[in-house]
Amino acid sequence: MLRTDFLVIGSGIAGLNFAIKTAKRFPDQTITILTKVNTDETNTKYAQGGIAVVNDREKDSFQKHIEDTLVAGDGLCNQKVVEIVVNEGPERVEEMIDLGTQFDKDIEGDFLRGKEGGHSEYRILHHKDITGFEMERALVEEVAKYPNINIHNHWFVIDIITQHHLGYLVTKSTPNIECYGVYALNLQTNEIEKILSKITVMASGGTGQAYRTTTNPKIATGDGIAMFYRAKGRIENMEFIQFHPTALYQAGVSPSFLITEAVRGDGGILRNKEGEAFMQRYDPRADLAPRDIVARAIDNEMKRTGTESIFLDCRHMELEKFKAHFPNIYDKCMSVGIDVMKNMIPVAPAAHYCCGGIKVDEIGRSSITNLYACGECSSTGLHGANRLASNSLLEALVFAHRCSEDAATRIDKLQFNDAIPDWNASGTNDPQEMILITQSLKELQLIMSDYVGIVRNNVRLERAMRRIDLLHEETETLYRTTTASPQLLELRNLITIGFLIVKGAQFRKESRGLHYNTDFPEKAEMLQNIVL
Ligand code: FAD
Ligand code: SIN
């Protein structure tokens, strides 16, 4: 059994940031970070394009960034949250610079700023095309300086502990559900441990692995959102799954390698099989329209021309400039036989970002008491129906800070709950056949990609739900009778994520942002967040 004042689930930008701020403020309190693989294996590490922030107030303005975010969000952003994130962003980014994060500069020492879809200005700070890698590096190095932060790698959090574990009936309408910690599978000992905490922060990242084709690494299985839903917390807007328009097309390869939108910001052009630069036909902003529009246009072009990919044309770009900004992409393309100066890059949309998640307020508080959420697993209201490119790293920084500030005002009043029982693993045996798990995962990913992708309709959603119900039933039986393993736990969580996406999509009787249903092609008059 472990006891910790602050428990952080996840070691990406959100979790590490919270931990550092809290450790600095409370040198005598313990902060424990649990992560299911190595510390730096996170979505954060793979972020390419950069972080959107207004730090040149001569050319850019807070108002423009706010406006761009609201336009991309297609009517569903919470304006107050947008203003908070945009206005507080520069200070949070400055703190990352103080920690040693290197953002690219020109020879005069001014920041180089990139542009991506939906941005009216060049405002994206970046470290070549590996911004996330650089930010994660700086954070991991900083965390190591605090003796009161303990990182436990290879600890798989299974469930949030609430009154349910004390034998009380907890439902969605229970007025004050409290979090007392978590149960986690220690993958070194294979024991399920009880971890008691006063404050818990969910920073468990995204859900991309629910789809067959995704830019997200294997860890992105929506665990935090799924366990929060099981604990009867409020989840919202899960139907808004963002597909990145330009993942490198390589049949059968998963995760897909991303070709950052910043390439289009620097002049890359999308072309269809016939060589046509088609984006102008879909939107006056052409290749730099918001992501929902570009991904849908590509999907349409692929269906129209019967192809599995379209192309990103960089042949007119300057080699030296390309290599300076996108060295990783240049090398990756070369390694698979694509010389970007001679060949167009085959690209296709891939599941990329979960705009919904654990519903939180303006300071990151979820509907479960003493449980905060920040980063991709949370739904703050910033993204609305479609996230503006490069706003998620910023959101994670701003909300990790806000969670830390609020938690600091409450920690002294909280106690551990020592009545929590140990995990009960009776009645479970080692799995007979792993194929039951691996095959179900493949099925789920196919269902989600085929029926709940960029374009949806009622029949497809119904069909997806029926199949997910069956997978759910089979997997719950397996879960009750089989020793817990990361594979089984992730499958179970991804099935819940699939269910939440389909349920949200079925409730939303309109097309807005990332959710496009051909049976309801118009926007509804009433603005609505779907809360499950
Ligand atoms: P993550 O960084 O994903 O961290 C999640 C953590 O939770 C991991 O440590 C994981 O091990 C842990 N975890 C999960 N489940 C469990 C469990 N059950 N038990 C224990 N630990 C668990 N955004 C931008 O703003 N700009 C970009 O340029 C950009 N580029 C991107 C490129 C790619 C290829 C991808 C995939 C995403 C990109 N994004 C970008 C999105 C952005 O990177 C993510 O939204 C953000 O990094 C998420 O950070 P996080 O801290 O919330 O989660
Ligand atoms: C990219 O670099 O294109 C991804 C940016 C993002 O997801 O915000």
Concatenating the DSSP letter of every residue in 414-456 gives: ----TTPPPP--TT-B--S-THHHHHHHHHHHHHHHHHSSSEE
| Cα–ligand 1 centroid distance for 468 (angstroms) | 25
Question: Who lines ligand 1 at CB under 6 A?
Answer: 9-15, 34-37, 42-44, 46-51, 131-132, 155-157, 203-206, 215-216, 219, 223-224, 258, 353, 375-376, 390-393, 396
> Which pLDDT score, from 0 to 100, does residue 473 have?
97
- pLDDT tens readout for residues 99-138: 999 999 999 999 999 999 999 999 999 999 999 999 999 9
In this prediction the pTM is 0.98
Amino acid at 447: I
Active site residues: 291
Mean pLDDT in order along the chain per 10 residues (532 residues): 96 98 97 98 98 93 98 97 98 98 96 94 97 98 98 98 97 96 97 97 98 98 98 98 98 95 96 97 96 96 95 98 97 98 98 98 98 98 97 98 98 97 86 86 98 98 98 95 95 98 98 98 96 97
Contact partners, residue 399, CB within 8 Å, separation at least 6: 14, 85, 360, 364, 374, 375, 378, 380
Name the residue of 134, 159, 204 to mutate for ligand 1: max ligand atoms within 8 A of Cβ.
204
| Cα–ligand 2 centroid distance for 385 (angstroms) | 16
Ligand 2 contacts CB of residue 48 (under 6 A): yes
| Cα–ligand 1 centroid distance for 194 (angstroms) | 25
To the nearest 10°, the Cα dihedral for 358, 241, 75, 85? 50
| CA neighbor of 347 nearest in space, from 438, 259, 261 | 259
Which one of the ligands is nearest to 207 CA? Answer: 1
Give the chain's domains with CATH numbers: 2-47+129-239+355-413 (3.50.50.60), 247-350 (3.90.700.10), 435-507 (1.20.58.100)
- pLDDT tens readout for residues 345-400: 999 999 999 999 999 999 999 999 999 999 999 999 999 999 999 999 999 999 99
Residues of 228-257 as b/e, b for ≥16 C-beta within 10 angstroms? bbbbbbbbbbbbbbbbbbbbbbeeeebbbb
Tokens for 393?
Answer: 């790293």
Name the residue of 393, 491, 494 to mutate for ligand 1: max ligand atoms within 8 A of Cβ.
393
| Cα–ligand 1 centroid distance for 107 (angstroms) | 32
Ligand 2 contacts CB of residue 404 (under 6 A): no
State the angle between helix axes of 223-230 and 486-507 in degrees (0 to 180), rounded to the nearest 10: 70
Name the residue of 42, 211, 490 to mutate for ligand 1: max ligand atoms within 8 A of Cβ.
42
β-bridge mates for residue 455, sequence order: 516
Q: Where are the alpha helices (DSSP H) in 151-265?
A: 223-230, 262-265
Contact between 191 and 79 (Cβ < 8 Å): no
Ligand 2 contacts CB of residue 260 (under 6 A): yes
Ligand 2 contacts CB of residue 22 (under 6 A): no
Contact between 386 and 72 (Cβ < 8 Å): yes
β-bridge mates for residue 184, sequence order: 157, 193
Ligand 2 contacts CB of residue 193 (under 6 A): no
Measure CA 385 to chain center.
Answer: 14
Task: Output the CA–CA distances (angstroms, integers) from residue 435 to 3, 4, 53, 382, 488, in the order listed.
Answer: 37, 37, 46, 40, 11
Strands 516-517 and 455-456: parallel
If 0-12 CB within 10 Å is exposed, 13-18 middle and 19+ buried, where does residue 175 land? exposed
| Cα–ligand 2 centroid distance for 33 (angstroms) | 26
* CA-derived radius of gyration, the chain: 22
Provide the 10 A C-beta neighbour count for residue 271: 18
> Which pLDDT score, from 0 to 100, does residue 484 have?
93
d(CA 438, CA 20): 37
Strands 181-186 and 269-271: unpaired
Contact between 288 and 307 (Cβ < 8 Å): no
> Which pLDDT score, from 0 to 100, does residue 324 have?
95
Contact between 52 and 123 (Cβ < 8 Å): yes
Contact partners, residue 295, CB within 8 Å, separation at least 6: 242, 243, 244, 245, 349, 454
